């Protein structure tokens, strides 16, 4: 369990830094008009909010500290 916490913490920490650096984005598609089976769609690329990156860094750091501080049983 100790290694699992440590690995999960590192993954969240790196992902949080990735988002804060401005590299995190996702695509959202919306239908503008539809007539029968014909559709007009628009796809927008949106940035992931920075608060998600900050939360990932904080939670990742806590998991790393928890993984280091936990005792073997």
Locate tokens 């949080």: which residue?
A: 16
> Collapsing DSSP states into helix, strand and coil, what is residue 64?
helix
pLDDT computed for residue 71 by the predictor:
65
Query: If you average pLDDT over residues 41-70, what whole number do you get?
Result: 90
The average confidence (pLDDT) of the chain is 88
Q: How far apart are CA 19 and CA 11, in angstroms?
A: 12
Residue 73: pLDDT above 80? Answer: no
pLDDT higher than threshold 80 for residue 25: yes
Q: Taking the chain, what is the end-to-end CA distance rounded to the nearest angstrom?
A: 10
37-47 pLDDT, tens digit per residue, is: 899 999 999 98
For position 72, what pLDDT does the model report?
56
Q: Contact 14/53 with Cβ under 8 angstroms?
A: no
Q: Report the pLDDT averaged over residues 19-41.
A: 90
Scanning the structure block, which residue is given the tokens 């959202």?
A: 28
């Amino acid at each position: 369990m100790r290694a699992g916490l440590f690995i999960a913490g590192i993954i969240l920490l790196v992902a949080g830094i990735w988002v804060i650096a401005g590299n995190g984005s996702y695509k959202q598609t919306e239908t503008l008009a539809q007539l029968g089976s014909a559709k007009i769609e628009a796809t927008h690329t949106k940035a992931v909010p920075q608060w998600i990156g900050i939360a990932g860094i904080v939670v990742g750091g806590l998991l790393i500290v928890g993984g280091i501080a936990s005792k073997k049983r």
